[in-house]
Structure 1
């Protein structure tokens, strides 16, 4: 795992502090993540905060310290979308979590539960979580790919990787295979519009429906500006 340079400020962003205050061990978790995680346009501190909030909402029966620990560590190994080991990132992250959390005050059993959730949250891995924490973390992470935030994140990643915005001749990939390695908008068709049916928790399912409607409204507006028919349902 490659560490990123230490940040000049030791304290986390203000909105995260109430979550860290839930349990003293979370300060250590945050410091470790800051030292290890390599952020990008879609995976940064703000993303971790949003995922933590939604993990708590999606798993009210789970100990809050474990929900927040899983959310903060779920991208501790963050490989670029075009990295050959992208599909193994969550497995590598889970191994790091399992090895590190006991040294930060977590029991081996709690470290294992968090590691399982981190391992199974990934879309690339294609796993169905087997625990309430895993289901909540996967839902929370996928929610952040949807809605207005999802539009911003896909555009940010597309720009970071140098992808074209869209195919001007076939923007909705109707006469070709969707190719989100070439066209940013194609990511809606290779992944984002498919996510709604993959949620596990009642809170996640309801929010996913709302955010998917927002993305479809965006695509309808984009179609109007392109002077083409909108993509089908």
Structure 2
């Protein structure tokens, strides 16, 4: 039965790393975001046809944003396995789970390195997308969970929070100089495309409702803006 007592100890250790790190980031990428991704990833993992390694899913979900390129340098994010290796090694001596020897540490790092939307886009554009990306169930569980938190009610709040943290306007009309980088434009550039790129059947089911929340919100924005626009 997952998790065992030893697995719980490893999970708690990873959670501490996450909490300490995410405390330095803005509210769009804080510990609450990670906890939501963790819970959703585990729920997806319970509902996929091929049972994944639950420990890999949970650890990858907990650590997936520690090296987010929006908050750390490219050099820091270049080698997730090297970064997390001291943690992986310490779990063997402290809790009897050798993530290095059994290969799960490398898989966790590989998931972390490939989970983001922008990474997937770049790999496909460069022809570097592989069969592993298409078949790794653990990757799909974490990817879908992370992307689901970018849409729906929490996605809307996170988009506004990140726009504020990066000093981008929330909404600007067409042809306005600030419009291309506004929060509402980000819906059209990325968020509205997420539903169709979710990889698991369960994630796709969750995505339907959250996608509709985005559409309803944008309709409300347009409606309210039209009222305040001079005739």
- Please say which of residues 132-141 and 117-126 is displaced more in the overlay: 117-126
**Residue 213 in structure 1 maps to residue 199 in structure 2:** no
Computing the radius of gyration over CA atoms, which structure comes out larger, 1 or 2? Answer: 2
Contact 2:115–2:143 (Cα < 8 Å) also in 1: yes
Task: Find the aligned partners of 2:174 and 2:199 in 1 and give their Cα distance.
Answer: 37
2:34 is aligned to 48
Measured against aligned partners, the alpha-carbon deviations of 1:52-100 in whole angstroms (never above 9, x if no partner) come to 111112222223322211111001113437x884xx8765445423453
Query: Measured at CA, do residues 90 and 196 of structure 1 come closer, stay the same or move farther in structure 2, by a change above 3 Å?
Result: farther
RMSD: 2.8
Once the 2 structures are TM-superposed, how far is the Cα of residue 177 of structure 1 from its aligned partner?
11
Q: Which runs of 5+ in 2 are unaligned?
A: 93-97, 124-128
Number of aligned positions between the proteins: 201
Contact 1:93–1:119 (Cα < 8 Å) also in 2: yes
Query: Measured at CA, do residues 208 and 47 of structure 1 come closer, stay the same or move farther in structure 2, by a change above 3 Å?
Result: same
Q: Which runs of 5+ in 1 are unaligned?
A: 1-18, 229-233
Task: Find the aligned partners of 2:206 and 2:217 in 1 and give their Cα distance.
Answer: 17
Contact 2:57–2:139 (Cα < 8 Å) also in 1: no
Please, what TM-score do these two structures have when normalized by structure 1?
Answer: 0.76
- Please say which of residues 197-206 and 106-115 is displaced more in the overlay: 106-115
Which structure ranks higher in relative contact order (CA pairs < 8 Å, sequence separation ≥ 6)?
Answer: 2
Question: How do residues 114-193 of structure 1 correspond to structure 2 at under 5 angstroms?
Answer: 114-126=108-120, 129=133, 130-170=135-175, 179-180=180-181, 183-193=182-192
